[in-house]
Structure 1
Amino acid sequence: MAGAIIEKMSTKKLVLFVFFILLFQIFSILVGALISPSPTTAIRYLATKCINFHRTRAWLMPWGSNRCQQVHSFDDPLAKTLDANDIVFAVHVPLPNTEMSPWFQYMLAVLQFDIAFKMINQIEDDVVITIDARLAYRDDMTSEWTTKFHSVEQRPLRCTFAVSKTYENEGRFYHCDPIPFMELGSVAHKYFLMNLRLPVNDTMNVGIGEIKDIHVVGIHQNGGFTKVWISMKTVFSPWISVATVWYWYRIRLLARPPVLLEKVIFALGLSMAFLDMPVEWLSTGFEWTWMLLFEDAQQGALYSILFCFWIIFCGEHLMDQRQRNRLSAYWWQVGLVVFGSSVLLIFDLSERGVHLNNPFYSVWAVAGISVCLYFFSLCRMVYCVFRTIGGKMQQLPTMPEARRLRYKGIIFRFKFLMLATLTCAALTIIFFILNQVSEGHWHWGDYTLQVHSAFLTGIYGMWNLYVFTIIFLYAPSHKHNRKKIQFSFVHIQSKTHKYQDTKYSFNKKFF
């Protein structure tokens, strides 16, 4: 890619460009650290044990004027007369005197069981718990509840008992893993009501121990963080879109067809522009339950193009002239990325897609090992690139001084860009793996620094700034084009004069 801006730009302008990029990166981090609240909020609800003697499908409220008949403990005398199928666990979301908001974007629910140890009723190995779950909504405190979803789901119950299983330890509680329960892709209503039953018969919910209570942990995105996130998308979206169009316009002005690296850079710009589309503005006014699936598709497209770009970017500077500019030269690296992306897409469709009709459906998988292996492979390619560059630098002393200084500057700039690429790859993979970690914050004087928000906004800003840097620095330089135009003009002028001289000689000879 001779004639790119990275080769033609003066060192002073390049340093100034990098300085402004770093300023924008610091600003992206500070937006999350100082302005944005924590990305998510987790609220713990204790399910109310309602009595449903007639086992009807009426909605049972845990509190308020129409609250259900309750039993506070299964050790109460009244509870001793009840059948397990007469109990409905009711949870109202949110807590009293609060409302849900479309700015929350999504809502997750995780179940936590309190199970007491009994010698005659122990938890069996590899046991599965069956839950008859119903979800309803309403938008004021007086209207009737409207059924939204109903499903009977099964979840593995994994519990451990820290002490020996003896009569002396009866009454102690198991330590049970949280159970993923529900995921709503839109929070379009103010109030939600969950009614959960644990149906019991000869084969269902047998060997699950003595359940005392059920806790529901509700997790949703904070409205303040949503506003900051959408605002950043609104700023970056036109910036990256215009830069991508400008880059391809510059490429089309060249007299040759685009090379492989130029095509991949253009695809990288398109994927970044696709991720930056601020469609969340519309989701706050419409009940779009497919938003989580759409956001995963946006990030998946960027991940796939980024990983392919880094492989081709390193490879094009590592291979000799005969192997360059051929996608087939990277068939196994790109093939692995495509295969991994396809697996993640199938997983995502199987979970997010089913959530459109059944938010209680759940599938779980881990992809951290694959991206770690990818990163180590990328590090090896970068090492090989630096080793190749080191071999070429040994030829510099034999060059003329002016040419030697020019090539030293180009090699230094390329090394810096490669290190920036490796840093971006490392942070992207860390973000990919730790995207579900719990948020944290630090206190510094009178300010609270939201570490998780700063990490998310910083990574998002880094993606945009990195893509913009690649697009800008690898675009054809106007200086290079101007020299070619001047050369073509002189060439045309010389041919015109030659034609005029020939015509004059012809006329002089025959007339």
Structure 2
Amino acid sequence: MADGAVIENLSTRKLLGILAALGLAQAAFFAVGAFFAPVPSSSMDFEMVKCADQTKGAAGHWFHLRPPRCDLIESLATYTPSSFDLREIVFIAQMPHARNNLQLEYSPWFQFLLGLVHVEVEYSDVFKYVPGAKLMLEVRMGVRTRESAPDAWEEYADVNVTRTLDCTIDPSKKSEGNFYTCDTLDLFELGSNNYPFYLLNVRIPIDTEACRRDPVATPNCQIGKINELHVVAIHQNGGFTAVWLWLKTLLCPIVIAACYWFNRRLSLLPRPRLLLEKAILALGMVLVLLDAPLEWLSLVARLPCLLLLSDLRQGLFYTVLFSFWLIFAGEHLIDDPQLNNLSAYRINLSLVAVASLALLVYDMAERGMQLADPFYSVWSSEWGATVAYISIYVALACTLAYFVFLFYKIVVVWNSIRRKRAAHLYRTSENRRLKFLMLFTLLCSALTIAAYFMRQFGEASLHGDSADDSILTHSTSAFFTGTFGMWNIYVLLLIAMYAPSHKQYQGAHGLIDENEDLMSGEERGTESNPLTTFLKPAQD
């Protein structure tokens, strides 16, 4: 622990006052999410309308519903294409919906737009579905501003998308008119939402000659009888974005001021900074980066990189926070001869580094590539899926090993506190404050882990078959705002508690070995504090 820190000189009355204020602040963060923020995300379902295009895309026209430009196909079962190449059938989705003759709009407040596609496959004895069939879609995405004409669509992307179609059917339902149960597929993901209107034109091309030569390797040869395509569009709610941004805008300058104050206090000390002090300052600086309300820029400019940038900021904060917990626990083991030495934590910190690097590789492979192609998915290729699985499993293994070691470290610290208290080497007030910080650290780590896995599980659910059942589309706003507030409270508390107390230790000039200090205290009959290395007043 830092010698001469505020925590050593804080009276019990002041500590209780601080705890009461922090408890009220924490309750306020939960209340904001519970009463003022809507659910984090919402979705819209679109049954894609089918249009006939005799030119098979050669004319380059856009097909849309509002205003109508579509030779409508009522049902694929009654439609007879001119050839086996189904490119003359165009599936369209115009987003968002019109409701009560009013055209809805997407807003930059929605932050991101995730598109999923569900393929409805009908059982057929003629057009048989083969498990693991490759589905290729020719997709054009158009965008339109509010000022543009209703039919003036600007091309945003024109790509071929290949996905693996995984479907199952009960053996008792293998008859005409029954349908397979197919997994939902990722279609696109936009890192910002700067257009009010989007249009999808999707075709399913079939190369009959290639299908005869190699039906397994050629896409769309074994997909069965396609009946319908459905698109699910998921976006972040604007109300949740507003609450989140205002929280960041409020907290960011407070944390900046606290870091400046803490750094200034450290710079006035006539000694080198301790490892724990450096770790607290580093944690405060990454919290400033996390709190920075950069999302305000997305409301006035198109920033497709914002979603990736948010992930990188979040990942950096987790990395520094997990590293800090190891240092925080280790620096309170006063019998450890490796105190104030970063190299003593190299093995433990390597777990954090490897896990962070693995997740960075996955994030760059997924969202990094989506900056150039919003329809890209790392899971769409065998090589990409292998990289993704390796990254996730390595990160998971390192994270589990880290938390086992962190729990062990905190238990050792707790036992050390009990031994020192039994030996009357701790003052009662110091023992109480240190126990409080350790308990708060355990609470913070538990909620951080829960928030991390809730977010990861929620995002995975958004990409799965149960997007509407994802925790991100339910009332979890209070948990996320509460956890975000707790991080800020925790870091501000550390800064306040471990800031040098110059009122009592002005003129201190050196570090004295704690055993020597304990002996000199006994010789003079004064109370000493062996919890930390102690700064003695300068002698005349």
TM-score band (shorter)? 0.7 to 0.9
* Equivalent in the alignment of 2:325: 310
Q: Is the aligned partner of 1:184 residue 2:212?
A: no
**What code does the residue aligned with 1:40 have?**
S
Structure 2 distance, partners of 1:421, 1:294, is: 27
Alignment pair present for 1:28 and 2:56: no
45 and 490 in structure 1: CA distance in 2 versus 1, 3 angstrom threshold = closer
- 2:107 counterpart residue number: 101
Match of 2:178 among 157, 172, 178: 172
Q: How does 1:33-432 map to 2 (within 5 A)?
A: 33-56=34-57, 58-78=60-80, 83-96=85-98, 97-140=103-146, 141-142=149-150, 144-164=152-172, 166=174, 169-201=175-207, 202=211, 203-318=218-333, 320-363=335-378, 365=388, 366=392, 370-396=398-424, 407-432=427-452
1:412 alignment partner AA: R
Q: Is the 8 A contact 1:73 1:79 kept in 2?
A: no
Match of 2:524 in 1: none
Contact 1:372–1:429 (Cα < 8 Å) also in 2: no
d(CA) in 1 for partners of 2:539, 2:405 = 48
Q: In structure 2, what is the Cα distance between the partners aligned to 1:100 and 1:7?
A: 54
- The aligned runs of 1:495-506 (5 Å cut-off) are none
Other-structure match for 1:506:
none
AA paired with 1:471?
I
Q: Secondary structure at the match of 1:317?
A: coil
Unaligned segments of structure 2, at least 5 residues: 212-217, 380-387, 459-466, 510-534
Q: Distance in 1 between matches of 2:300 and 2:320?
A: 31
Contact kept? 1:59, 1:145, Cα under 8 Å: no
Q: CA deviation at 1:320?
A: 2.8
Matched-pair contact (CA < 8 Å) for 1:48–1:62:
no
> How much has 1:149 moved relative to structure 2?
1.0
Larger Rg: 1
Cα separation, 1, equivalents of 2:334 and 2:72: 73
Quote how far apart the aligned CAs of 1:428 are: 1.0
Specify the code of the residue in structure 2 equivalent to 1:281.
W
Deviation at residue 433 of structure 1 after TM alignment: 1.2
Could you tell me whether the CA contact under 8 Å between 1:441 and 1:452 is conserved in 2?
A: no
- 1:498 aligns to what? none
Question: Following TM superposition, by how much is the alpha carbon of 1:258 offset from its aligned partner in structure 2, in angstroms?
Answer: 0.5
Instruction: Call closer, same or farther: CA 1:300–1:59 in 2, change over 3 Å.
Output: farther
How far apart, in 1, do the equivalents of 2:318 and 2:226 lie?
43
Please say if 1:473 is aligned against 2:501: no
Aligned mates of 2:490, 2:3 — CA distance in 1:
21
1:462 corresponds to 2:486: yes
Question: Structure 1: how far apart are the matches of 2:140 and 2:155?
Answer: 8
- The alpha carbon displacement at 1:393 in A equals 2.4
3-state SS, counterpart of residue 37 of structure 1: coil
Aligned length: 475
336-345 or 157-166, which moves further after superposition? Answer: 157-166
Which stretch of the first structure deviates more once superposed, 284-293 or 407-416?
Answer: 407-416
Instruction: Provide the TM-score with structure 2 as the length reference.
Output: 0.83
Distance in 2 between residues matched to 1:228 and 1:46, nearest whole Å? 32
CA distance in 2, matches of 1:46, 1:336: 46
Q: Give the C-alpha shift of residue 81 in structure 1.
A: 7.2
- Contact 1:61–1:92 (8 Å) recurs in 2: no
Pairwise CA distance, 1:484: 4.0
Aligned to 2:477: 453
Aligned to 2:384: none
Paired with 1:363 and 1:83, the residues of 2 have a C-alpha distance of: 28
TM value normalised by structure 1: 0.88
Residue 84 of structure 1, CA deviation: 1.5
Please list the CA deviations of residues 5-46 of structure 1 after superposition, one character each: whole Å capped at 9, or x if unmatched: 111110111111111111111111111111111111111111
- Do the aligned partners of 1:318 and 1:388 also contact (CA within 8 Å) in 2? yes
**Structure 1 residue 80: Cα displacement:** 8.1
Whether the aligned pair in 1 keeps the contact of 2:143 and 2:198 (CA below 8 Å) is yes
CA distance in 1, matches of 2:497, 2:235: 40
SS in 1 for 2:476: helix
1:380 alignment partner, SS class: helix
The corresponding residue for 1:12 is: 13
**Which deviates more, 172-181 or 52-61?**
52-61
**Identity across the alignment (%):** 37
- Structure 1 Cα separation of the partners of residues 483 and 300 of structure 2: 28
The unaligned stretches of length 5 or more in structure 1 are 443-448, 493-511
